[in-house]
Structure formats: C-alpha cells, structure tokens
Amino acid sequence: MKTIRLLSILFVAALILPSCNDEIKLTADWKDIPVVYGLLDKDDQTHYIRIEKVFVDPDKNAEDLALIPDSIYYENLTVEIQKLSTGERVTLNRVNGDDIGIPRDSGAFVSSPNYLYTFDAADMPFSGGEDIRLLLNRGDDQPLITADASIVGAIVPTGIGAGTIDFKYERDRDFRWQSGDEARVFDLKLVIHFLENDLEDPDPAVERELVWQFANAVPRNDNGSSGITTYSQSGTDFFTFLQSQLVAKPSINRTWIGMDFVIIGGGEALGQYIAITEANTGITSAQELPTYSNVIDGLGIFSSISTGIAPNLTLSGSALDSLQNGIYTKDLNF
C-alpha cells in the first residue's frame, strides 16, 4: 500500500508545484516555505508524508538549488500528528526512502536522499470521521505550520445484487456506494480477470488482468442525506474498452473469470483542489491556475483517502453473451 500512497502523493505534487513557483517569487523572498504532500489511509499499516521546503534565493538559479538536498529538505524539523478530539500526539520519524524500497523518481529535484516522514498505524490508529492535525515545528522561533484533515472512513459498494453486473449496449449502468461525509471525491475502476491461451504457444493458459479506470474525480452527490453516491456509466464503453485493449487473434482463446469494483475516495482538501483545478482548465480558463493548499503558512495537500472493493463480480448472462458474440468483442474469443 505504501507505494500506491506515495504515487498518489507525487501525482498531487506534480500538479501543485508548477502553480507555486510564480507566487513564491512574488511574495516570499528569503522565506522558507514548507511544502506538504500527505494522504493518510486508515487501513495502511505504515503512513508516509513527504515534507520539503521552497527557499527562494534571488542570487542563485532555482534549477541548481533543486539539486542540493539542503535546499529542499529540513535538517531539524519536528513533525507530529494530533487527534483533535483527545489531544493525543505521535511524533513522526524521518527515513530515507532509498533505504526502505521507496526510490524517488528522477526529475528536476534531487533524487537521493529521498527523505520521508513516517509513523506506524499501531502508534496512532485512525477511525473514519476523526479530525486530525499535522504540526510542523521548524525551530528558531518560526511559527508552527499546521494542516487539518478528517480521516475518510469505510467506503461500501451497494446495489450489486448477487455479485452480478449487467452491461447493455446503449444503456447506462448505475454504480452506487456509501461513505461518510468526510469523503468528497471518488475514482472508480474495474479490475478485470480472465484466462488467456494462445494455441500457437506451448505454454499453459495464463491469468491476465486489465484495469478499466472509467471515472475520475466523481464528486459526492448524496445531497447530504443517505451517504450514497451514484455514478452512471455507459454499458457500451465496457465492451469498447476490451476491444481497444486486447488483440483479436484466431489462435487466442480467453475465459472470463470475474472482476472487482474498486472505489477510492478522497477527503475535503483533495476534493477542493481537484474542483479548483478542473474549473480553471479548458478553453475559457484563466492562463494561470490558482494555488489551492490547506497547509496554513505553507503549500501542498494534507488529506485522507480510503478504498472500497466489491470483489469477485461476474457478468450477467446477457452481458456475457454480448462479450462472446457482440459486435465489439466477438473476435476476442471469450
């Protein structure tokens, strides 16, 4: 899970950093600014947060500074997480990701060392709906940096009777799930499993997996009552996705196994950031994207995510018939 979480963090970072630079140059000469990327999942055994700094030096090239570890990492930084309901705190440890199998992607910033701040879930277990605070103490009488978040609770898929999904041409299929109010935005995907055997290959059939990410950044739409969010997806798209991803070859036979419906929900700050970004991208958008951050006196995103899964789903009889004999997928030999 830690690799997935860090990929999510780095994705947010990649979006935020370009919009930070101009603002920093205008308003923050000679001031170090903490930059936080942290998405906590209550089900993770170990949590990781990336904390760096932006330090503007008018006498040095920004690209050169980015390659100097001391320019982007704090040497003496105390990082804590606090539960607001009880005051309980846990102090995070700084680790080098290189030493624990989490290398940093090469890019504009120095790739090694790859410092992260971490703590074990056993030291501070989370429950859905809990309000927490990140606290950064830089010392030297500098102000405390804080960011608040609510832990995203369980996300439960609903409305999938008997574990069966029915996709029909030219008809939408509704997907539903229940979550706490702290979950504000959702990504949806189907993980599709099947056996594949090439008669021209002496090796036995192999199990394959396709991931269909069919919806991103779906906003919560329960109207504040039931906690159930609904998303409608074209049934035709399921078959055209398979058609686009698999090779049609007479010697290849495929056997359907099943699929998993996966929902990843994000908290308020993540939802706000995505909403602001989407509202300002497009033909009529402003040239400069606004910077959204929930880190007080800093930059970045501190939020929470959670994953809900409906595993081992199958296709309805009519959908399986369309898979085997329909116009889009009949040549795939299911």
Q: 172-203 pLDDT, tens per residue?
A: 999 999 999 999 999 999 999 999 999 998 88
pLDDT attached to residue 28: 44
Q: Are residues 122 and 255 in the same domain?
A: no
Same domain, residue pair 77 and 21: yes
Q: Which helix (H) or strand (E) holds 323?
A: helix 317-325
CA distance 128 to 146: 21
Three-state secondary structure call for residue 276 = helix
- Both 184 and 313 in one domain: the answer is yes
236 plus 260 within the same structural domain: yes
Q: What is the pLDDT, as a whole number, of residue 82?
A: 98
The distance of Cα 19 from the centroid of its chain, to the nearest Å, equals 20
CA distance 260 to 254: 18
Domain annotation covers residue 53: yes
Judge whether 270 lies within some domain.
no
Closest CA to 189 of 217, 221, 213: 213
Q: Domain count of the chain?
A: 2
User: Residues 174, 175, 178, CA angle at the centre, nearest 5°?
Assistant: 130
The predicted pLDDT at position 212 comes to: 98
Whole-structure pTM value: 0.83
The answer to whether position 161 is within a domain reads yes
% residues pLDDT > 70 (the chain)? 78
Cβ contacts of 100 within 8 Å, gap of 6 or more = none
With respect to residue 180, please indicate whether it lies within any of the assigned structural domains.
Answer: yes
Choosing from 151, 172, 203, the residue where a domain stops is 151
Q: Note the pLDDT of residue 15.
A: 38
| Alpha carbon distance 328, 241 (integer Å) | 9
Structural tokens at position 182: 């702290």
CB-based contact 269:302 (threshold 8 Å): yes
- Containing structural domain, residue 90: 2-151
DSSP codes joined into one string, 22-77: HHHHHH-TT-EEEEEEEEE-TT-SEEEEEEEEEE--TTS-HHHHTT-HHHHS-SS-
Give kind and range of the element (H or E) at residue 305: strand 299-315
Dihedral sign, Cα of residue 66, residue 69, residue 70, residue 72: positive
What pLDDT was estimated at residue 107? 54
Question: Are residues 177 and 114 located together in one domain of the fold?
Answer: no
Same domain, 195 and 96: no
User: Residues 234, 125: one domain?
Assistant: no
Q: Provide the β-strand partners of residue 188.
A: 215, 263
Q: Which residues of the chain have pLDDT under 70?
A: 1-30, 55-71, 104-112, 223-225, 279-290
